[in-house]
Amino acid sequence: MKPSMGVQAPAASLRTVIFAVGLAALSFARPGAQASAQNPPAAPQQAAPARQKGAGSQKKPAAAPGVVPSAGQVKREVSLVPVFFSVLNAKNRFVTDLGRDDFEVFDNGLPQQIQKFGRQSNLPLRIGILLDTSNSIQQRLEFEKNASFDFLFRNVRPGRDLAFVMTFDTHPQVQQGFTDDMDLLRQAIFSQRAGGGTALYDCIYAASRELIDAPLPADGEEVRRVLVIFSDGIDDLSNDALSTALKMAERVPIEIYTISTNQEWVSPDQFGAQNMPRKLGYSHGDQILREIANDTGGRPFYPYQVSDLAQAFAEIGTELRSQYYIAYSPSYHPDDGKFHQIQLQLLHPKGLTVRARQGYWAPQPAPPSPAPSR
C-alpha cells in the first residue's frame, strides 16, 4: 500500500506538495485504498458492463496511454508522465497566471526536467453522471435526481460539452449516452427508481471506460473528463476491488467528484442560533467517497440539501476550466513496478495550494526475451 498523504498542502517557503497523477504513458496497477487520518483503507470490488444508447459529436478513438495534448493534437510519447493540477490562493480562488519557471518537479525525490507545460482553460468537458439507484439510497433518490440535473444544467454548454448518465444498483447501466440535449438528460435522470444491491466500484470502472471512448471535438481539441458520483458510498456487489476501478480512471486521467447522500446530520434546531445543520459524523461510505475523490484529484462534498451544492457546482465548473499540466520523462528507467511519488515544488509559494492526484504505479519490468533456439 502506498504511503499516506493529503490531497492539498499549502505551498509555503518552498514546501513540497505531494500528489499523484495518472501515468498516461505507463500501464497501471494501483492499490485499493489510500490511507490517511480521514481516508481509512477501503476493501471491495467491481466489473464492466455494456453500453446503451448514445448521442453527441463525432466519435474518435480514445487517446492511448502516454498522450499529452499539444496544439490541439494528440501525440504519443513513451514514458511521458503528465501531471494535471489546480493552484489555489489563500482565499480558495484559482490562480491561473503561473508559468513553467514557477515549478520544479521531482519523481521519488529525483529532480526531473519539465518537457511540457500548459494552461488548460475553457476546454470542452466530457461528464459522466453516476446515480446510485440501490435500495440503500431509496430515501434520498429525489435528492440525487435534483442535484445531478442541477450539476448538468450549470456545467454543460450546448455545442461544446457532452454528458452521459449511468445508474448502478445490482449492476451498472448507461441510461443515456453522450449528449448535450438537456431534455434527454433530464428524462434519463428523473425516470429512475430504486431497488437492488450496490455495485459502486463496477460502475466507476464501466463509466471510466465510457469516458476513455468519449466523442472528441471534430477539430481534435483536447477535452477534460469528469465523473460525478451521487451515492452513499456503500458497495456490496462489485466483482473486483476499488483499486481496479481507480486504475481504469487513471488511464486518461479522469477526475472524480463525489456527492454523499448520507444523512448523519444534526438537525437545525439542535445547532443553536445559526440554525444551520452540520455533519454529525462521517460514515464508512463517506470515507470511501472521500478516498475516491482524493485519489483522482477531485473533491468530496457532503451536502444537507440540494441548495447547499449550488456554489460547489459552480466551483467545480471553474476548476475544470482552470487547470495546468506539466509532463516529463523520468530520468531513470521507470519500469520497476513500484509506486512513485511526484513532488511539485513552487519556487515562489505566496501561500498557494496545489490540488491534484496522489501518485502513480510504474509497470512491471518486461520479462527477459527467450534465448534463440539453435
Do the Cβ atoms of 327 and 22 come closer than 8 Å? Answer: no
C-alpha cell read off for 18: 505531494
| Nearest partner of 217 among 85, 75, 63, judged by Cα | 63
Bigger pLDDT: 290 vs 80: 290
Judged against a pLDDT cut of 60, whether residue 124 lies above it is answered with yes
CA distance 279 to 205: 29
Q: Average pLDDT of the chain?
A: 78
pLDDT of residue 373: 65
Judged against a pLDDT cut of 90, whether residue 33 lies above it is answered with no
pTM over 0.75: no
Q: Which helix (H) or strand (E) holds 142?
A: helix 141-155
CA distance 153 to 185: 10
Do the Cβ atoms of 277 and 265 come closer than 8 Å? Answer: yes
User: Which three-class secondary structure state does DSSP give residue 151?
Assistant: helix
Judged against a pLDDT cut of 60, whether residue 2 lies above it is answered with no
Residues 6 or more apart whose Cβ sits within 8 Å of residue 92: none
Residues 6 or more apart whose Cβ sits within 8 Å of residue 154: 310, 313, 314, 317
Judged against a pLDDT cut of 80, whether residue 17 lies above it is answered with no
Do the Cβ atoms of 206 and 145 come closer than 8 Å? Answer: no
Task: Name residue 257's amino acid.
Answer: Y
Q: What is the torsional sign of CA 34, 36, 42, 48?
A: negative
pLDDT of residue 280: 82
CA distance 173 to 170: 10
Bigger pLDDT: 37 vs 254: 254
Instruction: Map grid coordinates 448520507 to a residue.
Output: 262
Using the 8-state DSSP alphabet, how is residue 68 labeled? E
Bigger pLDDT: 194 vs 33: 194
Do the Cβ atoms of 223 and 216 come closer than 8 Å? Answer: yes
Q: Which helix (H) or strand (E) holds 206?
A: helix 200-212
Domains by residue range for the chain, with CATH: 125-320 (3.40.50.410)
Q: How far is CA 56 from the centre of its chain?
A: 22
Bigger pLDDT: 3 vs 229: 229
